[in-house]
Amino acid sequence: MTSRRIALAAAVVAVVTGCATVPQKDYTKFVAAQPRSILVVPVMNKSVSLTASDYFLSTIPIPLAERGYYVFPVNLVKRLLEDEGLNDPGLVHSADPMRLASTFGADAVLYITIEQWDAKYILVQTNVTVAFSYVLKDGKTGTVLWEDHQKMVYASGDGGGGLLGAIISAAVTRAAPDYMPLARKANAQAMVYPGPGFPAGPYRPDEYRKDVQLPQQDASGAPTKQPASL
């Protein structure tokens, strides 16, 4: 190994750790489908919070559109679905993705489920936890093009100010724990690329269709063997 290679490897390692873990996914289907537009349907909520679904929906369009895709207006879409009698996001999630996509003219449909959105209080410490699953389905075939899962935990109460300071900060957090920064962080991690997220869409023309490394194909067209850990 030349020193140049070592330097490159070290740089890559440093960058990778800086961006948290970067699991390698197979983007073959995603690239083949070439989605330009993404329909974000109302968020399904499996948490104990009654309001998390709408709150979380408000955090999705910006990071997704910034990846270079057309993102359908989430509030308009939600209201239209409600007018159609699909008030419960569970009904939308169980509906036929191809029919949904053709109704709205979308290339792909993004389904998000809140698995956890809660705060636990242990003495003077507050643990806020959010966990989400993200699934993107192709509008033409209904197949899963991409999926991800994120869990974020925030622990308060270990700050300075002695016991009194800790009690005060816990009380403030207990009154209104703020989930939104954690939710935004989860989205950022889920959508970043290079990383587990969305390769650049058509509105990032400099990177579009240039940033994805697909598995090498051998002469027969079959993917070459990948390490099992990937």
Partner 1 sequence: MRGRVVVGAAVAAAVSACVPQTRYHWGQYDSALYQHYKNPQDREAYVEALKTTILEAEQLGMKVPPGICAEYGYALFEEGQAAQSLPWFQREKETWPESTVLMDKMIRNAQRRGTQPPPPATGPAGAVESRS
Residues near partner 1, by CB under 8 A: 4, 7-8, 11-12, 14-15, 18-19, 36-37, 51, 54-55, 57-59, 61-63, 65-66, 68-76, 79-80, 82-84, 103-107, 180, 188, 192-195, 203-204
Q: Which residue's CB is nearer to partner 1, number 91 or number 188?
A: 188
Q: Which residue's CB is nearer to partner 1, number 33 or number 124?
A: 33
Residue 83 CB, shortest distance to partner 1, in Å, is 4
Residue 5 CB, shortest distance to partner 1, in Å, is 8
Q: Which residue's CB is nearer to partner 1, number 104 or number 121?
A: 104
Q: Which residue's CB is nearer to partner 1, number 213 or number 224?
A: 213
Q: Which residue's CB is nearer to partner 1, number 75 or number 226?
A: 75
DSSP structure string for the chain:
--HHHHHHHHHHHHHHHHT--------HHHHHH---EEEEPPPEE-SS-SSHHHHHHTTSHHHHHHTT-EE--HHHHHHHHHHTT--SHHHHHHS-HHHHHHHHT-SEEEEEEEEEEEEEEETTEEEEEEEEEEEEEETTT--EEEEEEEEEEEE-S-SSSHHHHHHHHHHHHHHS---HHHHHHHHHHHH-TTTTSPPP-TTSTTTTTTS--PPPB-TTSPBPPPPTT-
Residue 33 CB, shortest distance to partner 1, in Å, is 14
Residue 154 CB, shortest distance to partner 1, in Å, is 18
Residue 204 CB, shortest distance to partner 1, in Å, is 7
